[in-house]
Structures are given as structure tokens and as C-alpha cells.
Amino acid sequence: MERISWTLFLLSLTYLEGSSQDFGQTQFICTSVPKDMDLCAATMQNSGPAEDLKTTVMQLRETVLQQKETIMNQKETIRELTSKLSRCESQGVLEPVAGGRRKEPGKNTMGDVSRGPTDTLAQLGQTLATLKQRLENLEQYSRNNGSVQASSLKDLLQNKIDDMEKQVLSRVNTLEESKSGQKNDTDQRNRVESTLTSLHQRINDLEKGSKGSRPLDKFQITFPLRTNYMYAKVKKSLPEMYAFSFCLWIKSNASPGVGTPFSYAVPGQANELVLIEWGNNPMEILINDKVAKLPFVINDGKWHHICITWTTRDGVWEAFQDGVLRGTGENLAPYHPIKPSGVLVLGQEQDTLGGGFDATQAFVGELANFNIWDRKLTAGEIYNLATCNNRAQAGNVLSWSESNIDVFGGATKWTFEPCRQLS
């Protein structure tokens, strides 16, 4: 026992003399070893695992500290963003919108038509001027042909125009004097829209009566404003389809993005079949929320004929512009048939079945000859349609006819023959 104690005492002295480090409050732990064992080997044997454990613990501690610092930074960033959003909302810079997105109030993200009161009233003024011109033409026709019925309708329509002008002037006065409340402004806008729709319909009826009944397919629909209330609705739904082709004439100079020429929604899926060009994105077709980008360039203010064919087998699609194949693709909603019992809307993108319109996605321009088939058209058939060949066929699922489509909110129907108006 005395030998072991003496050995430990010498070991401690040797350690203290050989170290120049100031250990301060450091404690020294002595470990007994057999007298015939090498001290260096015993020291390495006893300290190895402890050193490895100490290194591992230090690494883990450093990792935990780094993670804690990262979490604190992220929390601080979230607090700053939340605070900024709250300040913006309280100051009216941002307003919350459905679906968690935010947008600047009154800003048209499509970028071509402002929805401010002044611009809206200016557009209404232009619409009124156009209606008056049409009415004057009808009045002249009435005088030349002595039509009693046309004269009677003309007087009625003139009264309606005068009434609508009073409503517009009243709205201007309301905006200039004071912003007397959003509800009053909305009610007044609804009255103007209702009068516009009724007025357009009566003028259309009068034009048909004065000029003879035009063929039911010789018309176009015009969407002059980017709103969330101007649209056309197809009276019938689509059947279940394992393939389709749709073709239409389209004219627009809206930029960026012409909007949504049409959308088809079914219960549980608002994006069952949609054609849309939104913002700076290219035109896209959506089938069951699956997307394919289309190679169309149409916002030059000229009439263009576009067709898209698709089959559920492998999701193969083709895109034609002005009778020429411009692009193909596959894997677009493969093996997903188009569902029946939906709502087909022209000029608006549906977020809910038959509604949920967003003005920034509305179509601005003119549409005509929108036909749908439940099969893939051949390239020759599409070329015949684009060149107005007399062998061109109407859609067997949806044919373009005035009796199939109702217009709302100021969208208008005009006489149209595509190949006479391509310039």
C-alpha cells in the first residue's frame, strides 16, 4: 500500500512540474495502476474513451447551439414579416383575398385596364356612345323603311339610354362629392350593369328585326372591360369525354395576358378544363388542374383561329394556330376523362362552380365560333375551319349558336363573319 501511495505522489509531482499551464480551479484525479505497468500506456488506456466522449459531447453541444441560433433568427424574421403585413393592412396598402393570397387594393395585376372609378366611368361612356351610334343607325333604317315596330322599340331604347346616362351622372356626382359608402356604390353599379345588359339585348333584337334574321352562328361576343361580372354562359353542360377538340376565333390586344377565354368547372373541381393567359405567363390549358403551356401568340389585336385536341390516352395534346400545328405534348391529365354536369363560362375563370370570378383573370377582347367535339379532329379538318372552308363542321358537343349562349354584365353580341374580318 505504501508503494502505491508513493508512486501516486511522484506521478502528481511530475505532472505539476512538467506543466506550464495555469489550471486555476482545476481538480486533479488520481487513478491507481499496478506497479509493474507502464504509466504512459495506462494513461492512454484510461483517457482514450473519455477524450472521445468529451469530443462528441462538445460537437453535439455546438450543433444544438447553432440550431438554437437558427430558430431564433427564423422567429425574428417571422415576427418582422407579420408586423409589416399588419402595418400594411392597417394602412390600406394590402388587403387579404381568398385562398391566402394578397394583392394591392384596386390594382389590376393583368396590367391593361384599371378598375378605378374614373377609368370605369370612361369605359361606360364609350359603351354609351357605341350604343347611341347603333341606335341612330337603326333610326335611320326605320325612317327609310317606315317600320312602325322598329320606331316603337327605338323610342323605348332611347328612354333606356337616357335613364342610364342619368345613373352614370349620378354616380359621378356621388364620387366627386363624397365616398358615401361602398354599399351604395355597389348597388348603383349593379343597376347600371342590369340596364346595360337589358339595353344590349333589346338593341340586338331590334337589329335582327330590322335587317332580317341573321344566321344563329354569325355572331361574336365582345368583352370590353376586365371585370368580375361580365361573362357569357353556355346553357348546356358537357358530357363525359375521353377525347376532345375545341376551336374558336379570338381577338385581343390585352397585355400582359388576354385573360380567360373560357373555363369549365364541375362539382369538386373548378379547373376541370380551362384556357387562360394570365400576367406574363404564356397561354395555358388546364385539365383537372394539370397544366400544359401553349405556343400561341395572339394578343396583337388581330383575329386568330386556335384549336386544341386532346386524348385521355397518355394525355397527348396538339395546338393549332391559324390552321398550322404549333406544338404538341403528352402526359396532360392522362387517363382522366372530362367529367360531365359542369358549368361552361366564357370570359371568366371559375374559382367555384359557376362563380368566384376574379377580375384580374377576366378575358378582354372578342370571341366567336367556339365549337367542341368529343373526338380528335384531323389536321385537315382544322385547316378547313381556319380557312372558312364550306366543308368545315360544327361541333357535335357544342355548336356556336346564339340560342346556346346567354351574356351578362355588359358583354355584347355582334354580327360576325370571320373570314371577312381577318384584317
pLDDT for 295-328, tens place per residue?
Answer: 999 989 999 999 999 999 999 999 999 999 999 9
C-alpha span between 89 and 230 (Å, rounded): 29
Contact 254, 112 (CB under 8 A): yes
pLDDT higher at 9 or 233: 233
pLDDT higher at 207 or 220: 220
The helix (H) or strand (E) run that includes residue 68 is helix 39-90
Residue at 107 is within a domain? no
Residues 6 or more apart whose CB falls under 8 angstroms from that of 401 comprise 216, 217
With cell 511530475, the residue in question is 14
Does residue 336 carry a pLDDT above 90?
A: yes
pLDDT higher at 418 or 269: 269
Q: How many domains does the chain have?
A: 1
Contact 361, 276 (CB under 8 A): yes
The DSSP call for residue 172 is H
Contact 284, 370 (CB under 8 A): no
C-alpha span between 167 and 171 (Å, rounded): 6
Distance between start and end Cα atoms, the chain: 116
In this structure, what C-alpha cell is assigned to residue 90?
A: 392597417
Contact 399, 220 (CB under 8 A): no
pLDDT higher at 27 or 400: 400
- The pLDDT confidence band at residue 367, using thresholds 50, 70 and 90, is very high
Q: Identify which of 185, 109, 210 has the alpha carbon closest to the alpha carbon of residue 415.
A: 210
Over range 288-301, report the average pLDDT: 94
pTM beyond 0.75: the answer is no
Residues 6 or more apart whose CB falls under 8 angstroms from that of 27 comprise none
Neighbours of 165 (CB within 10 A): 14
DSSP 3-state assignment of 420?
A: helix
Over range 364-378, report the average pLDDT: 96
Q: What is the CATH number of the domain that holds 266?
A: 2.60.120.200
Question: Residue 63 is which amino acid?
Answer: T
Residue 231, pLDDT score: 97
Phi, psi of 408 (to 5 degrees): -140, 155
pLDDT higher at 182 or 301: 301
Residue at 92 is within a domain? no
pLDDT higher at 114 or 139: 139
The helix (H) or strand (E) run that includes residue 325 is strand 324-329
pLDDT for 37-87, tens place per residue?
Answer: 655 555 555 555 556 666 666 766 666 666 666 666 666 656 665 555 555
Buried/exposed code over 207-216 (b: 16+ C-beta within 10 A; e: otherwise): beebeeeeee
The helix (H) or strand (E) run that includes residue 380 is helix 379-386
C-alpha span between 218 and 80 (Å, rounded): 59
- Which range among 25-34, 55-64, 227-236 shows the weakest confidence by mean pLDDT? 25-34
Does residue 397 carry a pLDDT above 60?
A: yes
The helix (H) or strand (E) run that includes residue 11 is helix 2-17
148-177 vs 182-211: helix crossing angle, rounded to 10:
160
The rounded Cα 218 to chain-centroid distance in angstroms is 31
- Which range among 262-276, 302-316, 399-413 shows the weakest confidence by mean pLDDT? 399-413
Residue at 405 is within a domain? yes
Residue at 291 is within a domain? yes
Does residue 360 carry a pLDDT above 70?
A: yes
Q: What's the mean per-residue pLDDT of the chain?
A: 74
Residue at 205 is within a domain? no
Beta bridge partners of 338: 241
Does residue 180 carry a pLDDT above 70?
A: no
Over range 266-292, report the average pLDDT: 95
Residue 393, pLDDT score: 87
Residue at 216 is within a domain? no
Residue 377, pLDDT score: 96
Phi, psi of 392 (to 5 degrees): -65, 140
Residue at 326 is within a domain? yes
Residue at 162 is within a domain? no
C-alpha span between 235 and 39 (Å, rounded): 99
Domain that holds residue 243: 229-415
- The pLDDT confidence band at residue 89, using thresholds 50, 70 and 90, is very low
Buried/exposed code over 271-298 (b: 16+ C-beta within 10 A; e: otherwise): bbbbbbbbeeeebebbbeeeebebebeb
C-alpha span between 246 and 231 (Å, rounded): 19
